[in-house]
Structure formats: structure tokens, C-alpha cells
Amino acid sequence: MKKWAMFVLWGMLSVVYSVNAGVIDRSQVQYDDYVGWSGFVIGSGNKVAQTFTAGITGQLQTIQVKFGNFQSVADTPQYPVDVSIVETRSTVPSGALLASVTVDAFAADFTVVDFSDYSIFLDSGAQYAIVMTSEDSNVYDEQSTQWRGSSEDVYSGGQMWVWTSDLGWIQEYSSETVTETYYNVDCAFKTYMTPEPATALFLSFGYFLSLIRKPRVGG
């Protein structure tokens, strides 16, 4: 086998391997890094969700989310969090539960949440939600975990939602002292997918074409 053919084969296999390990699909990485509104506190009386629109048809491998500590942006959170993937109904994160895992160790940057054992198949163009809750009943103490995000609407493929036992899923909350809106903010996240075989083959073939189209030096 010619050297260039072996090189192309190696390149295609490398692409297939990297695809099987998960490729980034959707992300929103902006978050406000200051005490005040820099995210939403996760506790037993509420759930926090961020919807997203899948761009690749295939299996969800992992997600990454930006956690924080309610009292200090410099400290990592302390309270474990249940992270779920659910389907949406008319953009509301109230559909079928696809999988749920508990996170009890947090990274200083984005924390990896592994869903690779759950065979979660997502369809390109369909909307899903990352939902978080915890058993923290004292949600504003120094141990409380926060899902960091942007106070601006920076992601067009989904929105932030909040669930309470009294009101269900809402995007606006008003009381005598405060009014909060959630449809114009976004939590920080990344999703990693393994494309279905046809998509993975397409990516490999694209890599192959990029190699054979490169001009030869001195040719």
C-alpha cells in the first residue's frame, strides 16, 4: 500500500475514533463571574433547566456544565446535584425523562457529567433540556450549589426555566419585592455527541476529501 493511502486510512480511522469518543454539538459558555446574578441556586424547592436544540442525530455521551458556589465566585460548590436529560413539550422541559445522574465532585471550570452508559438518542433539530435539582433545603447558605450562566439571552436554541412546587415550570416570577425573568437568560453548558453511523462516515469522508485535494509540494 502506498504511503499516502496508508496516511489517508490512518486519518479516517482517527476521525472515526474521535467521533465515537464524542464531538461537541451545542454549547453556551458565557457566564457572569460576579456575586449577585451569576446563575441560579439549586435546591429542594426548585428545579433549574436549560433547553437546547440538538444539532447532530446520535447518542449523547457527556455534557459539561458550569457550577458555582452561591457565596463566592472563587469557591467550588459543595452540595451534590442531580442532573437529568428530558424531552420538551412545546419548549417546556416537562417531557419524558431520558436519564439522570448525581454529581458530587465539581471542577473549577466546567464539570463533566457522563451519560455514555444510558444510550440517550437525540434527533437533530429536536429540543431537549438539562434539568438540575438537589436536596439542599437551605439554598442560600455557603454550601449551596449554583448553575452559572449569562444574564443576557446569548443562546438562540433554548432558554432557562425554573420549576417550583407551587407554580410548576415558569419563566417569570413576581412578588411584592422582586420580579425575575428567565426566558432572557441562559445557563452555561456544552453537549457532546456520538453521531449515528451515517453521519460519522460522512465526517470521515469529508476528512478524506480534504486530504486528497491538498496540492502536492513540487508536483
Q: Is residue 206 in some structural domain?
A: no
Q: Is residue 10 in some structural domain?
A: no
Q: Is residue 209 in some structural domain?
A: no
Backbone angles phi, psi at 42, to 5 degrees: -105, 125
Looking at the structure of the chain, the number of domains it has is 1
Residue whose C-alpha is closest to residue 94's, from 46, 131, 149, 133: 131
Distance CA 120, CA 215 (A): 42
Per-residue pLDDT tens digits for 65-100: 998 876 665 566 678 899 999 999 999 999 999 999
Residue whose C-alpha is closest to residue 62's, from 200, 195, 199, 193: 193
Q: Is residue 4 in some structural domain?
A: no
Burial (0-12, 13-18, 19+ Cβ within 10 Å), 207:
middle
DSSP string for residues in 182-200: -TT-EE-EEEEEEE-HHHH
In the prediction, which pLDDT does 123 show? 97
Domain interval for residue 48 = 22-197
Q: Are 186 and 175 in contact (CB under 8 A)?
A: no
In the prediction, which pLDDT does 111 show? 94
Q: What is the CATH number of the domain that holds 156?
A: 2.60.120
Q: Is residue 26 in some structural domain?
A: yes
Which residues of the chain are under the pLDDT cut of 50?
1, 4-19, 217-219
In the prediction, which pLDDT does 43 show? 85
Per-residue pLDDT tens digits for 167-191: 999 998 887 777 778 888 999 999 9
